[in-house]
Chains A and B, each alone.
Chain A
Amino acid sequence: QKEVEQDPGPLSVPEGAIVSLNCTYSNSAFQYFMWYRQYSRKGPELLMYTYSSGNKEDGRFTAQVDKSSKYISLFIRDSQPSDSATYLCAMSARGGAQKLVFGQGTRLTINP
């Protein structure tokens, strides 16, 4: 069993829809949670970085962490075609330079 599970999709939604992306994990030591966006053949770009349980909002993006359920989510409001990319969840035990464990990535397409 993988430490981090993420549905690879693909996920296709119309422009303006609310998108929900999720990951589950098995290692209770994880305390730092990240979402990266990766366009085709490019490096991952950090979207959200959260510590422990709770919500964090940044513009159209909201990250949620539920450590009791070992479940994290990323919500995208008012989705745009430019949001079409692969979204990777990642997590680590101590943050900072600690190695990151990634999910497989969810491929998302926003249709105009």
Chain B
Amino acid sequence: DAGVTQSPTHLIKTRGQQVTLRCSPKSGHDTVSWYQQALGQGPQFIFQYYEEEERQRGNFPDRFSGHQFPNYSSELNVNALLLGDSALYLCASSLTGYTDTQYFGPGTRLTVL
């Protein structure tokens, strides 16, 4: 049973650039959530996608946007990158309507120079 996968593993960008991160959920899951984890901190919720729509959003600016595809995979886009966007970006998948918790992927480490 394939778990949550994310690509790429690492990414280096410069300030002002744009980046796209990708996530494939665990088999059978239909909901994808994205989290940002700064060094030495716990993950912070960015937003969640279900049925190809953003369902919940955390306290992140509009520079952060996303998309969910019909096969439930998802993308996270960040525009106008800032140094402070350097972090581990985690994708978590779950199944809406069930109380089972979320399962995380290995993350994408983004470095903004």
Asked whether A and B interact, the reply is: yes
Q: A42-B106, A44-B90 are in contact. Are A96 and B40 (CB under 8 A)?
A: no
Q: Pick from B6, B56, B102, B105 the residue with the most CB of A within 10 Å.
A: B102
Q: Which of A36, A94, A105 is the one whose CB lies under 8 Å from B104?
A: A36
Query: Across the A-B interface, how many residue pairs have beta carbons closer than 8 Å?
Result: 75
A45 contacts the other chain (CB 8 A): yes
Given contact pairs A44-B43, A102-B42, A97 touches B106 in the complex (Cβ within 8 A): no
A101 close to B (CB within 8 Å): yes
User: Which of B14-22, B71-79, B91-99 sits within the interface?
Assistant: B91-99
> Distance in Å from the Cβ of A30 to the closest Cβ of chain B?
13
Q: Distance in Å from the Cβ of A86 to the closest Cβ of chain B?
A: 9
Whether B94 lies near A97 (C-beta < 8 A) is yes
Question: CB distance B94 to A96 under 8 Å?
Answer: yes
* Chain A residues closer than 8 Å to B56, beta-carbon distance: 99
Given contacts A97-B31, A102-B42, A104-B41, contact A32 B58 (CB under 8 A): no
A42 touches B40 (CB 8 A): no
For A21, the chain B residues whose CB sits under 8 A away are none
Cβ of B112 to closest chain A Cβ, rounded Å: 17
Contact among A4, A43, A103, A104 for B106, CB-based, below 8 A = A43
User: B42 to A41, Cβ gap below 8 A?
Assistant: no
The A2-61 residues at the B interface (CB cut-off 8 A) are: 4, 6, 8, 32, 34, 36, 41-46, 49, 51
Cβ-defined contact, B33 with A104, below 8 A: no
Residues of A within 8 A of B50 (CB): 97
Q: Kindly list chain B residues whose C-beta atoms are within 8 Å of the C-beta of A105.
A: 40-42
Residues in B lying within 8 Å of A, measured CB to CB: 4, 6, 31, 33, 35, 40-45, 48, 50, 56, 58, 88, 90, 92, 94-107, 109
Sort A-B residue pairs by CB-CB distance and give the 8 closest, nearest first: A102-B42, A95-B99, A43-B104, A97-B94, A97-B31, A99-B45, A43-B106, A44-B104
Pull 12 A–B residue pairs with CB atoms less than 8 Å apart, ordered by A.
A32-B101, A43-B4, A45-B104, A88-B43, A95-B100, A95-B101, A97-B50, A97-B95, A99-B48, A100-B102, A102-B42, A102-B44
